[in-house]
Amino acid sequence: AQSVTQPDIHITVSEGASLELRCNYSYGATPYLFWYVQSPGQGLQLLLKYFSGDTLVQGIKGFEAEFKRSQSSFNLRKPSVHWSDAAEYFCAVSPSGGSYIPTFGRGTSLIVHP
């Protein structure tokens, strides 16, 4: 069974600083990987996804993520954080076939200081 670990429950950064949110997954084969963002009381919005190919994936809102098979990681990065990026961020993994049912991590809450 697949699983996702987001080791940081909260991350605090200053506006304009760089950001890296960690995600480690467990899955027997090459998975599909996702990052979602959730604002309070809202659903989840897809930031980016990795299926295959280039291990550095570009997403919306200036986010990127890098798939590292050797480390079973898919960390999310942004070079300069804006106050509007404050939200909950979820990493997810799904099988690369069949039902494609994604499994989510518990999330990382991003706090942005002015």
Partner 1 sequence: DTGVSQDPRHKITKRGQNVTFRCDPISEHNRLYWYRQTLGQGPEFLTYFQNEAQLEKSRLLSDRFSAERPKGSFSTLEIQRTEQGDSAMYLCASSRDHSPGYTFGSGTRLTVV
Contact with partner 1 (CB under 8 A): which of 42, 55, 71, 80? 42
Q: Does 3 bind partner 1 (CB under 8 A)?
A: no
Q: Which stretch binds partner 1 (CB under 8 A): 13-21, 42-50, 59-67, 78-86?
A: 42-50
Count of residues touching partner 1 (by CB under 8 A) = 23
Contact with partner 1 (CB under 8 A): which of 49, 66, 73, 86? 49
The burial class, CB within 10 Å (0-12 / 13-18 / 19+), for 94 is: buried
Q: Does 103 bind partner 1 (CB under 8 A)?
A: yes
Q: Which stretch binds partner 1 (CB under 8 A): 16-24, 41-49, 56-64, 71-79?
A: 41-49
Q: How far is CA 4 from the centre of its chain?
A: 10
Rg (CA), the chain: 14
Rounded Cα distance, 25 and 17, in Å? 26
Q: Does 106 bind partner 1 (CB under 8 A)?
A: yes
Torsion of CA 45, 48, 51, 56, to 10 degrees: -170
Q: Does 35 bind partner 1 (CB under 8 A)?
A: no
Neighbours of 38 (CB within 10 A): 15
Q: Which is nearer to partner 1, 42 or 55 (CB)?
A: 42
